[in-house]
């Protein structure tokens, strides 16, 4: 009653209640329908707020608001999203999050839980509609977004091709040739001492290599003039906008109205599709001409996809092939370029690692070279060519320390920092946590590489030696080191990625030293992959 003392109206007793002025609250007539409606609303609000309070009291629950869920928390920390999730998983075994309007998620970073969702109970954790619809425009029905029989069919064909010796040898030749082009370009920068954005160069390198190996197309992105690459720009922006849908509760409405970020996304995808369909058309015509004159199949992946089709008019329409093209680009271009970018950053911070790689590479050069070369005898171009002869599919397998340094980069900077699946049925995780049907269960590979309970007190340190024993590389469970996924969806291009990264890194460290340009901010761009927001700029000097 204390608050009534502050009112200006007199308070007088009423029959069975009290009155403010002339209105008696106990006896005032209120229509029964209004009472019913107000009661229902009150009960619903109380129930909803009780559920919100219960969620906030649940261990590991990210802060939640009515209706919009955890979106304000995620949005406020968006540029530092991966660190936010890592900090939360350092304190809690699981972290609950509400993506608004009842779409609930759960972050995990434990090998037992990743093995459960990716292997033990794999069938209950497909990509699922909520995940697929957020990446549909970008990835379509390609291997990264597909489920069920569609995923099995696509993976079966891709698996046969990645195990092909023809494709392997072709890939090695392409990777080596593109790496030589890269060092030629960097050598020009050493003369002027101009800063180099290595992420930009790596993206050009891997896009050129991916399109050559995947589609038989020469893009010419990695040339001395460094031409504008509209496809890359649209591809990256489409990736970022698609991922942003997780904190945009109104993205579906914006898509229907074709406004704002959804309109921009559509424009990006349309520009990407123009390129993809042109490649497909060109390849179809070349295959038809090849069949007429009896020429041999081309070794690129797209041509081999087409030539292996049993019912091309039913299975591999142009739209289906477009999806394969885009998925192959994100697998071959982004993941490799991103790892090489973070690797460059790491060796700049840890020059002793670069020196150990240099020693290993030069030892390989001495042991594999057919003839010794006296210092200063050959031109730089001749040195590039002779070193290229040393690098083969088999010889790079001897670079154990480089393999460890790249793997340590992947541990701390996994190309896909978050990977989500949707629970098809109610389930119980091995740690006793109940997961309801429709919940998005996401493992954070970014957090998993940084947790002390998995890697020890030096978890956040860059130490390639942790992967070596008596000089030999020692792998760990893929459910712990999960940068290449695990279980049935283990990355088919893992060995190909290592091959390309080793060739590029060996070339770079053999001929150059790198130093970071001061006062630059190195942070991830928040999207489906862990690209750098502003690249990594360095000064290169010849060795």
Sign of CA dihedral 241, 242, 243, 247: positive
CA distance 395 to 111: 33
E strand or H helix at 542, and its extent? strand 537-542
The DSSP secondary-structure symbol of 487 reads: G
The alpha-carbon radius of gyration of the chain (Å, integer) is 29
Residue 429 is predicted with a pLDDT of 96
- At 375 the three-state DSSP class reads coil
Which residue, among 178, 179, 161, 392, has the nearest Cα to 298 in the 3D structure? 161
Stated pTM of the model: 0.87
The stretches of 218-313 forming alpha helices (DSSP H) are 230-244, 251-257, 260-293, 301-307
Residue 167 is predicted with a pLDDT of 76
CA distance 215 to 282: 10
Contact in structure between 235 and 272 (CB atoms under 8 Å): yes
pLDDT tens across the length of the chain (543 residues)? 443 333 333 333 343 333 333 333 334 444 566 666 666 666 555 555 555 555 555 667 888 888 888 999 999 999 999 999 999 999 999 999 998 888 899 999 999 999 999 999 999 999 999 999 999 999 998 888 888 888 887 787 778 767 777 778 888 899 999 999 999 999 999 988 899 999 999 999 999 999 888 888 888 899 888 999 999 999 999 999 999 999 999 999 999 999 999 999 999 999 999 999 998 888 888 777 766 655 555 667 787 677 665 554 445 688 888 998 899 888 889 999 999 999 999 999 999 999 999 999 999 999 987 654 455 578 888 999 999 999 999 999 999 999 999 999 999 999 999 999 999 999 999 999 999 999 999 999 999 999 999 999 999 999 999 999 999 999 999 999 999 999 999 998 899 999 999 999 999 999 999 999 999 999 999 999 999 999 999 999 999
Annotated binding site: 491
Residue 28 is predicted with a pLDDT of 43
Token output for 28 = 């005032």
Structural domains present in the chain = 137-542 (1.10.630.10)
CA distance 481 to 407: 9
DSSP letters of 406-439?
A: HHHHHHHS-SS-EEEEE-SS-EE-TTS-EE-TT-
CB atoms within 10 A of CB 495: 16
Contact in structure between 348 and 516 (CB atoms under 8 Å): yes
Residue 295 is predicted with a pLDDT of 58
CA distance 381 to 384: 5
Annotated binding site for heme: 491
């Amino acid at each position: 009653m204390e608050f009534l003392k502050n009112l200006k109206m007199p308070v007088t007793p009423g029959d069975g209640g009290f009155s403010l002025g002339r209105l008696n609250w106990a006896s005032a007539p209120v229509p029964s329908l209004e009472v019913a409606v107000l009661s229902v609303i009150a009960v619903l609000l109380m129930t909803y707020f009780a559920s919100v309070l219960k969620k906030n009291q649940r261990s590991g629950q990210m802060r939640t608001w009515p209706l919009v869920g955890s979106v304000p928390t995620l949005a406020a920390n968006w540029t530092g999203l991966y660190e936010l999730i890592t900090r939360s998983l350092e304190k809690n075994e699981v972290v609950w999050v509400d993506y608004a309007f009842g779409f609930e998620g759960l972050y995990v970073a434990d090998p037992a839980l990743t093995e459960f969702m990716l292997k033990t109970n794999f069938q209950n954790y497909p990509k699922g509609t909520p995940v697929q619809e957020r990446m549909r425009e970008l990835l379509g029905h390609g291997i990264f977004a597909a489920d069920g029989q569609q995923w099995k069919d696509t993976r079966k064909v891709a698996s046969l091709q990645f195990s092909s010796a023809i494709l392997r040898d072709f890939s090695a030749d392409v990777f080596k040739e593109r790496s030589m082009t890269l060092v030629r370009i960097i050598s020009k920068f050493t003369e002027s001492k101009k800063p180099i954005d290595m992420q930009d160069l790596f993206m050009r390198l891997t896009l050129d290599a991916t399109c050559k190996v995947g589609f038989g197309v020469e893009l010419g992105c990695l040339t001395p003039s460094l031409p504008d690459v509209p496809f890359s720009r649209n591809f990256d922006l489409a990736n970022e906008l698609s991922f942003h849908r997780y904190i945009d509760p109104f993205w579906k409405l914006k898509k229907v109205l074709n406004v704002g970020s959804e309109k921009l996304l559509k424009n990006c995808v349309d520009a990407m599709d123009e390129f993809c369909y042109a490649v497909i058309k060109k390849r179809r015509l070349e295959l038809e001409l090849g069949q007429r004159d009896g020429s041999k199949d081309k070794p690129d992946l797209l041509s081999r996809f087409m030539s292996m089709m049993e019912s091309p008019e039913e299975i591999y329409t142009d739209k289906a092939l477009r999806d394969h093209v885009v998925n192959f680009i994100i697998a071959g271009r982004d993941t490799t370029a991103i790892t090489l970018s973070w690797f460059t950053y790491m060796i700049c911070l840890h020059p002793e690692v670069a020196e150990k790689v240099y020693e290993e590479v030069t030892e390989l050069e001495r042991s594999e070279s057919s003839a010794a070369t006296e210092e200063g005898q050959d031109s730089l171009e001749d040195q590039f060519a002779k070193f290229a002869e040393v690098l083969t599919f088999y010889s790079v397998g001897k670079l154990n320390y480089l393999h460890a340094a790249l793997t340590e980069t992947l541990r701390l900077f996994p190309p896909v920092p978050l990977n989500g699946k949707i629970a098809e049925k109610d389930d119980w995780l091995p740690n006793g946590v109940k997961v309801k049907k429709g919940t998005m269960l996401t493992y954070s590979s970014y957090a998993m590489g940084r947790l002390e309970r998995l890697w020890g007190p030096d978890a956040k340190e860059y130490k390639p030696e942790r992967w070596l024993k008596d000089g030999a590389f020692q792998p760990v469970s893929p459910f712990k080191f999960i940068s290449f996924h695990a279980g049935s969806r283990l990355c088919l291009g893992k060995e190909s990625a290592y091959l390309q990264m080793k060739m590029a890194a060996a070339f770079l460290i053999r001929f150059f030293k790198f130093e970071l340009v001061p006062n630059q901010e190195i942070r991830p761009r928040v999207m489906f992959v862990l690209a750098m927001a502003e690249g990594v700029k360095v000064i290169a000097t010849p060795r």
